[in-house]
Structure 1
Amino acid sequence: MILRRTNANKLKVVAVRLDPAIEHRLRLLASVTGRKQSVFLQQIIDDGLGAIEEAHLPPQMLAQIQAGQLPPVPGEEPAAEAAPDLFDTGPAAAI
């Protein structure tokens, strides 16, 4: 089954500066396993984000997130229909 990405479920691009040793370890892991670096980064973020949220977010907001209801980011307006980004390959783009 091929998952078709829409504006609602499109993956977002985030730039992160890494220590050269960490970046090297990530490239090594990707090369040895034949997987993309982004697969491992996504897993690392998924695994660690929950622990950071528990330590830093108010209990009510944490409960919302754990219930699958993402509250709006303070100071940001809800996004309307997002414009295509530089990597958008059209409505038939599959990941």
Structure 2
Amino acid sequence: MAFTGKAIVTRVKDHIRKRGGSFAKWFVGVSAKPRIRLFRLHQVPKTTGQWILMRAESPAKALQVKRFLSTKLKMVAGRKLSEKTADFVYAYRMTAQTKQ
């Protein structure tokens, strides 16, 4: 199921408020394969880590959401990658265990 940009922003904000920490302690990225990014690249613990992912309506919308979350809410943004099909927005709480 694909979500609108507004719905993704609302869900991410609610998720972070429930899980704790300031927005600046959370990382946001986009990917076509977010689970690989979260659990392999960033090494977020699957069961005990604080994370969220949602499919956007399009890769352009996913990128727009990432930019909004990083500029307006000051979340840490992932580097710009050339994934033309990156339609998922993902976020996780950064810890000593995770990698940006």
TM-score, normalised by the number of residues in structure 2: 0.23
TM-score, normalised by the number of residues in structure 1: 0.23
The structure with the greater share of residues assigned to strand is: 2
Higher Cα radius of gyration: 1
Larger relative contact order (C-alpha < 8 A, sep ≥ 6)? 1
